[in-house]
């Protein structure tokens, strides 16, 4: 089966770059704006060839990956599909692909050496780099939420109370849950791509990269962080419920007291 795959590149060293746009991407809009040669597409991604032998892979969970494009070519694609996007403000990662004379798949710190480089192996590498960049983004978001939680808990420890309005804490909870839901919606990105099911070589490439990028452990770490945030938020909401209950109790006590005074004064007068 490997022999039937046509190799497409003969360069010795190539660069793959990925950016996370900090939001989900509408694949349908990308398809409508795209004037390049589309190789494959689905509801969740689109893979196309903007220039001969150069590829772009866009995923609906917010990542766009470039294979062997120059800086000017990357800017040209971004300008067409995502006008106004500033690369400097985005989460970014780079990975190298090297053609090897050996049949072995060799992974190094920031590059992979392969004997067979074709569209399918390129897609597998781009997919894994996209997943890694997505985890970088979600890890940053989870750590930011956790930092806010630490501020609240420190305030409770030092002052014995939580100085945050109900509206703000509900907004914070909404942000945390919305982010967690986005990750849950994109759980499929960590599944092995279908093309690897019947191709041992591609499966080996995918497994090698998945282990190299620590995709599983990194996802579980982010999930644990969100669990900690969620547990703290449950505590905050419970405290607010107790606070509201206490206010209602005092209001009832005051109303009863006023009623008693009113009854007493009425009888006396």
* 69, 51 Cβ separation under 8 angstroms: yes
Query: Of 113, 115, 116, 131, nearest to 44 (Cα)?
Result: 131
Percent of the chain surpassing pLDDT 70: 89
pLDDT value, residue 244: 63
Q: What is the separation of C-alpha 121 from the centre of its chain, rounded to a whole number of angstroms?
A: 23
In this model, does residue 48 exceed pLDDT 80? yes
104-130: pLDDT as tens digits: 899 988 999 998 899 999 999 999 999
- The answer to the question of residue 4 being in a domain is no
Residue 210 shares a structural domain with residue 173: yes
Domain that holds residue 21: 10-126
13-37: pLDDT as tens digits: 699 999 999 888 999 998 888 889 9
- The answer to the question of residue 1 being in a domain is no
pLDDT value, residue 113: 93
Q: Can you give the pTM of this predicted structure?
A: 0.79
Residue 136 shares a structural domain with residue 99: no
189-198: pLDDT as tens digits: 566 777 788 8
pLDDT value, residue 190: 63
In this model, does residue 268 exceed pLDDT 90? no
The count of structural domains within the chain is 2
pLDDT value, residue 266: 77
Which residue shows structure tokens 């305030």? 155
Residue 106 shares a structural domain with residue 228: no
pLDDT value, residue 145: 86
Average pLDDT, integer, range 141-160: 84
Contacts of 34 (CB under 8 A, 6+ apart): 46, 48, 80, 81
Residue 256 shares a structural domain with residue 177: yes
pLDDT value, residue 111: 93
67 forms beta bridges with 16, 55
3-state secondary structure labels for all residues of 194-230:
HHHCCCHHHHHHHHHHHHHCCHHHHHHHHHHHHHHHH
């Amino acid at each position: 089966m490997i022999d039937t795959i046509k190799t497409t590149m003969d360069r010795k060293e190539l660069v793959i770059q990925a950016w996370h746009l900090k939001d989900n991407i509408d694949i349908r809009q990308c398809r409508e704006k795209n004037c390049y040669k589309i190789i494959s597409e689905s509801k969740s991604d689109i893979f196309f060839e903007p220039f001969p032998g150069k590829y772009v892979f866009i995923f609906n969970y917010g990542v766009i990956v470039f294979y062997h494009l120059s800086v000017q070519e990357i800017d040209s694609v971004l300008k067409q599909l995502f006008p106004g996007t500033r690369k400097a403000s985005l989460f970014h990662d780079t990975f190298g692909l090297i053609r090897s004379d050996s049949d072995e798949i060799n992974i190094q710190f920031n590059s992979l050496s392969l004997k067979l480089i074709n569209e399918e192996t390129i897609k597998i590498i781009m997919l894994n780099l996209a997943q890694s960049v997505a985890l970088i983004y979600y890890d940053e978001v989870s750590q930011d939420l956790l930092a806010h939680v630490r501020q609240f808990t420190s305030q409770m420890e030092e002052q014995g109370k939580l100085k945050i309005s109900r509206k703000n804490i509900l907004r914070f909870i909404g942000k945390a849950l919305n982010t967690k839901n986005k990750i849950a919606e994109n759980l499929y990105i960590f599944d092995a791509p279908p093309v690897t099911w019947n191709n041992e070589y591609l499966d080996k490439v995918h497994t090698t990269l998945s282990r190299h990028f620590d995709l599983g452990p990194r996802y579980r770490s982010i999930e644990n962080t969100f669990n900690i945030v969620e547990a703290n938020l449950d505590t905050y909401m419970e405290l607010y419920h107790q606070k509201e209950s206490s206010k209602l109790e005092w209001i009832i006590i005051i109303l009863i007291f006023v009623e008693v005074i009113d009854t007493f004064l009425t009888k006396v007068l």
